[in-house]
């Protein structure tokens, strides 16, 4: 009988690395698509940025004032906790800048929508775009596009109209703006109104749900109910006028004399969104028409940059609010890979997704992902964001990500996934994994034991899996 020297070094993990999303199942290299050129006559990017800076000058002025006056340690009042300025702050800003409190509030709201100011809880602080305002044209243009995307929020909707009618007009406006962009010139408002009414009719028709299969004969026939799509439309002209004026208020079009024309900035922004849609429609995945879950599943096969392009195109084709709701619903499913990809797509959404992400931070399944998203949104470097997680949350996320690798990856990926654990040794990892209570713990441990080349480690992992399965310690 021979003695054995303990091989503890082989059970020890390498230095922990930041937690990351599950690797994609397949890495496919695609030839780069040549960068599309804007339509002829579109100003140069530097000129577009100059226009955006000019249009947002008042908002940037208020944001710079807030940066100086509301930073910690100053006596100035703070926002009211809901993103609006308190009365005291508005009056102080008005006095300092020579404006009225109403102008200050309007410029503050514009600065928030453009990402020049970020409100986190009851704290307001300058956004990263304000820091880069004078030196980064891309930051300026992205801020202006964020304001353009929020045109329906920038101008209060009419109070004397049904919310459903307002929502229909908002949903139909992208088609109107696309037509304006393709027309490359002034278009009569009557023609645009006709297009809007056609689109609203299509939206109402798409919502009609017709049951499939044989239907039971009713006991007593009632008069046939009219098809909602055939019902006469409520007059949309007042709402359309509000929409045009709202888009004009953010600097995307000019409206008057019975005609509407996109500004150079508006035409460029609509072209960018149409180009994003075309990229997705022409890609092998073609996810633009898919529901969020199917879109994410298609993007699992793409490299990160290609996947982000798909996310942007998918988001450009639908209202931000409903897109975020769809992505969070997909994240609640059983597929851990889709959960990670859903939050990658939410990173593309950016600031507009913050309230929804913050609202799901208490859901155990989504909490680690939401906390990482919020940390990065708050300015943490991606490599440091994992520090906001507790040890238990980090372990739960490790198991969830391992489940994604086990379901969609290859054995070597699962073995390499050990490197991202926060625990310094495999025994410590197994102890905490057993305690964290993830529903996929047994499957993950069994897959890891089958994949790992070290017999001693594989045996320890199988024992841990059996203990979790039987409820032992």
Q: What is the pTM of this model?
A: 0.58
Task: Quote the percentage of the chain above a pLDDT of 90.
Answer: 24
Quote the pLDDT of residue 216.
53
At residue 244, the 3 state secondary structure works out as helix
Quote the pLDDT of residue 426.
76
Q: Which of 62, 60, 99, 92 is nearest to 76 (CA)?
A: 92
Quote the pLDDT of residue 246.
92
- The rounded distance, in Å, linking the Cα atoms of 117 and 131 is 10
Q: Which of 387, 408, 305 is nearest to 348 (CA)?
A: 305
What is the arrangement of strands in the sheet containing 259-262, beginning at the earlier edge strand?
A: 187-188, 259-262, 253-256
At residue 124, the 3 state secondary structure works out as strand
pLDDT classification of 130: cutoffs 50, 70, 90: confident
pLDDT classification of 11: cutoffs 50, 70, 90: very low
pLDDT digits (tens, 9 = 90+) for 100-120: 999 999 999 899 888 888 776
pLDDT digits (tens, 9 = 90+) for 142-195: 889 888 988 888 888 777 777 888 888 888 898 899 999 988 889 999 999 999
Backbone angles phi, psi at 221, to 5 degrees: -75, 130
Q: Which of 264, 368, 205, 208 is nearest to 43 (CA)?
A: 264
What's the whole-number average pLDDT of the chain?
78
The first and second tokens of residue 175, run together, are 């088609």
Positive or negative, the Cα torsion across 28, 31, 34, 36? negative
Pairing status of strand 117-120 against strand 259-262:
unpaired
pLDDT digits (tens, 9 = 90+) for 46-87: 999 999 999 999 999 999 998 888 765 444 444 444 556 788
> Of the ranges 220-234, 306-320, 350-364, which is most confident?
350-364
Pairing status of strand 187-188 against strand 253-256:
unpaired
């Amino acid at each position: 009988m021979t003695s054995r020297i303990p091989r503890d070094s082989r059970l020890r993990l390498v230095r922990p690395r930041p937690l990351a999303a599950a690797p994609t199942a397949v890495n496919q290299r695609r030839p780069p698509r040549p960068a599309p050129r804007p339509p002829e006559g579109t100003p140069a990017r530097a000129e577009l940025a100059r226009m955006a800076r000019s249009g947002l000058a008042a908002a940037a002025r208020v944001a710079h004032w807030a940066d100086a006056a509301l930073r910690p340690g100053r006596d100035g009042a703070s926002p009211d906790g809901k993103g609006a300025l308190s009365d005291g702050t508005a009056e102080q800003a008005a006095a300092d800048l020579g404006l009225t409190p109403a102008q200050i509030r309007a410029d503050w709201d514009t600065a928030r929508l453009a990402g020049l100011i970020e409100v986190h809880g009851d704290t307001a602080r300058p956004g990263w775009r304000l820091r880069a305002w004078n030196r980064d044209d891309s930051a300026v243009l992205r801020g202006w596009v964020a304001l353009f995307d929020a045109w329906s929020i920038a101008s209060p909707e009419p109070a004397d109209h049904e919310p459903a009618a307002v929502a229909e007009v908002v949903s139909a406006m992208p088609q109107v703006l696309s037509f304006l962009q393709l027309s490359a010139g002034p278009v009569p408002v009557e023609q645009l109104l006709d297009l809007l009414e056609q689109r609203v009719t299509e939206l109402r028709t798409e919502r009609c749900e017709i049951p499939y299969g044989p239907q039971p004969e009713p006991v007593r026939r009632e008069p046939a109910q009219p098809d909602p799509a055939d019902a006469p439309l409520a007059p949309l002209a007042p709402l359309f006028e509000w929409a045009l004026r709202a888009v004009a208020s953010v600097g995307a079009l000019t409206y008057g004399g019975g005609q509407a024309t996109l500004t150079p900035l508006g035409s460029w922004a609509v072209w960018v969104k149409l180009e994003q849609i075309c990229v997705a429609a022409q890609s092998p995945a073609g996810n633009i028409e898919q529901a969020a879950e199917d879109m994410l599943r298609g993007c699992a096969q793409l490299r990160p940059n290609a996947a982000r392009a798909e996310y942007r195109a998918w988001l450009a084709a639908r209202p931000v609010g409903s897109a975020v709701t769809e992505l969070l619903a997909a994240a609640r499913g059983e597929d851990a890979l889709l959960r990670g990809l859903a939050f990658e797509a939410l990173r593309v959404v950016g600031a507009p997704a913050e309230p929804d992400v913050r609202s799901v931070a208490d859901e155990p399944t989504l909490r680690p992902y939401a906390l990482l998203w919020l940390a990065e949104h708050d300015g943490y470097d991606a490599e440091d964001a994992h520090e906001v997680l507790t040890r238990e949350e980090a372990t739960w996320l490790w198991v969830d990500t391992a489940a994604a690798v086990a379901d969609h990856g290859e054995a070597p990926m699962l073995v390499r996934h050990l490197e991202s654990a926060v625990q310094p040794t495999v025994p410590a990892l197994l102890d905490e994994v057993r305690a964290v209570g993830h529903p996929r713990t047994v499957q993950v441990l069994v897959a890891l034991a089958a994949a790992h080349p070290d017999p001693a480690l594989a045996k320890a992992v199988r024992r841990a899996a059996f203990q979790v399965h039987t409820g032992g310690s």
